[in-house]
Structure formats: structure tokens, C-alpha cells
Amino acid sequence: MSDRERLLKEEIARLRHKILVMEDNFNEVLANADMAVIETRGDMRIINADGAIDTIFQEAIDFLERGESLLTVVYKTTHNTRTANKDIYGKSDNIETIEDTVEKFVEGTLEEKIIRIVGEKETGEVFLLLWKITRKGDRFKSFFRIIPTNTIIQATADKHRDEINYMQKLIRDTMNLIDEGVVQLNEKNKIIYMNNSAKRFFFGENIGMLRKAPVEGRYFQEILVNDSSDEVRQRIDSLFNCLETRKPVAYSMKKNENEVVFQIFPHFDHKRQLDGTITIIKDVANIFSSSDSNKQRIEKLSEALKHYSTAAKNAEDRVAELENNHKWLTSKNAEYQSAAQSAYAILESMPAPIAILSLPSRKFEFVNTAFVRKFSLTKEQVKGKTDDELFAKEDAEVFSSKTFESIDTLKTIKISTPNHYVKQSVLTNARNKPTNLIRLFL
């Protein structure tokens, strides 16, 4: 075989290998349209790149075309040299560099490694870069996908909201089964919730028309259609007394020769601030009448014992159900806290100062370590504060005006104050209602 024939065969073999590699990459890209696939040598220099490279590596596309080191491309894309290992969330000082993580994998024996890197786009949007690297003999194949941080936080919030709505519905369905009336009012005595037993008590014979009528949002006194003026006054005075003293209040009234007991309890939110009352209505029926014989009294007493025995059993069942619901909700809350902690840990590892403010209060809800270092404050000194309390007057006024612009446009905007330069975005809920501001200080 001549040297020319040998060289031609080697070139054909090389081209066949390249075609197979490209076909393999093409199939992988088809299966993962939003993914970039990059093949590198043992020293991590780029050989081939396919897939969504323009979308994921738009700021580093020149490095890809020149076959630079893949680490250089990642640094240029994310503006970050640190990994965000999910096993060490909250320990940002110990997070490895990307180079250390990749070097350990290259020199080790693992066949596959997933690396998570926090990045920031030129627009100021924070994202998570997922990098799966696999060993292919003396070469490596990497798969990249971008997940916006807004998507992570929004998905967590939506899931949390859906679960809480389900639990609220379950609790209200359960409350509609009990014999006692339950009325929840806000601090202005507007109805938040009223169960079926309470509606039967207040609406009486009109229950057929009013049982399904909406009462939420109406003032409590508006539904007292069957009460005298004295009864209405007593109910309102008792509610105000409970709100003023922040202690339970109880009173009783006669209805159809039976005594009805009202127990009013103050209700506090998660910050222990008073936000309304809960009233429990219990009908204490008279077992005997004055005309009953001894035999009739014994029969009524027997029936009453059966009734209260059944009621006690039902109450035990309801308590057990509520305990199970409480355990389930506690477990779900632990999952939500873990998901939220993961999302915040991503922001925590960012080298740039980041703050999250709640809306509409515009109070600081979260700041990362880079933020407290920049402003020489602790997180406790920042949390719950407003712009007016943290920044100079001229800066706070600019932030205030630009907040309305962010909410109106729902776009990332650049803010320049006399002392700061900031990129600001808005987070929205499932109904596209603004819930938070995210600020990146440059």
C-alpha cells in the first residue's frame, strides 16, 4: 500500500468518526432542543459544539468558535467562578471554584458529574447554569441548560400557593360538617368566612335563599337580619371588646327557648399582630320541658346520651383527621422551606450584591452576603427596612420613582442614583401580579 493510499484511508476513517460524532450530537440535540452539547479534549479545549449554543453562550460565542478552554467559556457566560453545590447550601465560604470541581472529575473515575453555577446576564437577570459532564474515553462531553432564577422562585411560590389553597379548601369543607357555627371576621368586622351552621343560625327560615349567597366581604352587622336592635348591639359591643382587650369574650342568648353560647376569640397573624376575631356559636338545647313526666325525661335523657355519644365519636374522628392534615401540612412546609432555601442559596453565592424586596410594602426581605459586605451591615439590620431607612434621601427618592416604573412595565430597568447603579426586575405570581423586586447592585 502506497503512502498516498494509506493517508487517504486514514482521512476517510477520520471523517467517518467525525460524522458519527456529529450524528450522535445531532440526535442528542433533537432530544433536548434547549440544550447545548459540547465535546472537549482531556485538557477541556473545545472540539465540537452543537445545539442551543447561541442562546446559552451568546456572550462567549467567539471563544467557542476559536476552540478555547470550556472553563473560559463558562466564566465568560456566567461572570462567576464558583459552583453552587446543593449539598453545601448555606456554606458559601466553602463553595468550590468551577476549576477545582472540574479538575477533580477529570482526575477521578466518575463517569458523570452535574455542576450548578449561578450566572448573571447583561440585562441583570440571574440564572442557574446546569452543566452535566460525561466521560467518553480520553475526551469529555458536556451538556448545558439554563434555568432562570425567576422561574425557580416562581415555581416554588406557585406550588406553595396551590398547596395552601388546597389546605384552606379542605379546612373549610371540614368546618362545614361540624354542628357549631364558625364566623371569622377581620379587624373591621368584615366577614372572611362563615360555615353552614353559622348561616343556619343567622338566616333561620331564609336559609334556602341565603345559604349560597356570598357573605365574604360584608360587614357582620349586615347579615343580622333576624336579630333585634338590642341583640345586634350586644354582638357588636362584644366584638369590639374582644378586639380592644385582645382576650376571649363570651355571652349567651335565648333562641327558641334554647340557650345559645357565643365565644369570641382574638385572631393573630404569623407576626402575632391582631387581624380579627373568630366566633364559635354553640346551641345548648334544653333536654327537658316542665310538662315532661319522669318516663319522658328518662327517654329524652337516653336519646340525648346517644346523641352526645355519636357527637363525641364524630369529634374524635374530626380531630384525628385534622391532626393528619396538620402533619401533612408540616411536611409540605418543610419541602417548601427546603425549596426556598435552595433558591436563596443560589442568590447567596452570587458575587454581586443582591436584594429582594416585598411588594407592596417595599421592605427588604432578603439580601445576600455580597450586599452586607458592600454596605457594612448585617442581614438583621437590613431585613424589614425600607429604602428611606437604609439609603440617603436622594437615593431613596430615585428608588421610589423607579419602583413604579418596574411595576408598570414588568421589565428589567437600570437605575442610576447619586451613589448607586442598580439593575431591577419584578417577580409576579400566577396572575401576573407583582410580588417582589429583585435588585442587583453594580
pLDDT in tens, 243-271: 999 999 998 887 766 778 889 999 887 67
> Per-residue pLDDT for 140 more than 90?
yes
Q: Is residue 298 part of a domain?
A: no
Q: Over range 370-382, report the average pLDDT.
A: 89
The reported pLDDT for the residue numbered 53 is 84
The reported pLDDT for the residue numbered 32 is 52
Percent of the chain having pLDDT more than 70? Answer: 74
pTM across the whole model: 0.39
Of the candidate ranges 8-17, 39-48, 138-147, the one whose mean pLDDT is the lowest: 8-17
Of the candidate ranges 92-96, 193-197, 353-357, 395-399, the one whose mean pLDDT is the lowest: 92-96
Cα–Cα distance measured from residue 219 to residue 190, given in angstroms and rounded to the nearest whole number: 4
Same domain, 143 and 269: no
The reported pLDDT for the residue numbered 403 is 85
Q: Is residue 93 part of a domain?
A: yes
Same domain, 36 and 109: yes
Q: Is residue 170 part of a domain?
A: no
The reported pLDDT for the residue numbered 245 is 92
> Per-residue pLDDT for 155 more than 70?
no
The reported pLDDT for the residue numbered 150 is 66
Q: Which among 368, 402, 400, 366 is positioned nearest to 383, based on CA atoms?
A: 366
The reported pLDDT for the residue numbered 269 is 79
Same domain, 404 and 273: no
Q: Over range 154-166, report the average pLDDT.
A: 69
Q: Which among 299, 227, 223, 285 is positioned nearest to 257, based on CA atoms?
A: 285
Residue 180 one-letter amino acid: E
Whole-Å CA distances, 261 to 39, 74, 197, 283, 394: 77, 70, 14, 6, 58
Q: Which among 234, 225, 219 is positioned nearest to 264, based on CA atoms?
A: 234
> Per-residue pLDDT for 91 more than 50?
no
Instruction: Tell me how far apart the 2 most distant CA atoms of the chain are, in Å.
Output: 127
Same domain, 130 and 233: no
Q: Is residue 217 part of a domain?
A: yes
Same domain, 22 and 141: yes
Cα–Cα distance measured from residue 304 to residue 319, given in angstroms and rounded to the nearest whole number: 22
Q: Is residue 305 part of a domain?
A: no
Domain-ending residue, one of 264, 286, 308: 286
Same domain, 59 and 140: yes
CA atoms within 13 A on the CB side of 277: 28
Q: Over range 157-182, report the average pLDDT.
A: 75
Same domain, 23 and 91: yes
Q: Over range 368-374, report the average pLDDT.
A: 87
CATH of the domain at 396: 3.30.450.20
Percent of the chain having pLDDT more than 90? Answer: 13
The reported pLDDT for the residue numbered 133 is 93
Binning pLDDT at 50, 70 and 90, where does residue 206 land? low
Q: Is residue 33 part of a domain?
A: yes
SS3 of residue 404 by DSSP: helix
Domain count, the chain: 3
The reported pLDDT for the residue numbered 67 is 80
Identify the DSSP state of 49: E
Same domain, 192 and 229: yes
Q: Is residue 374 part of a domain?
A: yes
The reported pLDDT for the residue numbered 265 is 92
Domain-ending residue, one of 286, 301, 331: 286
Domain range for 13? 3-148
The reported pLDDT for the residue numbered 33 is 57
Same domain, 97 and 221: no
Same domain, 237 and 114: no
Q: Is residue 327 part of a domain?
A: no
Of the candidate ranges 97-111, 296-310, 419-433, the one whose mean pLDDT is the lowest: 296-310
Same domain, 253 and 189: yes
Same domain, 92 and 25: yes
pLDDT in tens, 280-334: 988 765 544 555 666 666 676 677 667 667 766 766 666 676 667 666 666 666 6
> Per-residue pLDDT for 89 more than 50?
no
Mean pLDDT of the chain: 79
- 9, three cell numbers: 484511508
Binning pLDDT at 50, 70 and 90, where does residue 87 land? very low
> Per-residue pLDDT for 90 more than 50?
no
> Per-residue pLDDT for 434 more than 70?
yes
The helix (H) or strand (E) run that includes residue 298 is: helix 294-348
Give exposure, 58-79, as e/b (b: 16+ Cβ within 10 Å).
Answer: eebbebbeeebbbbbbbbbbbe
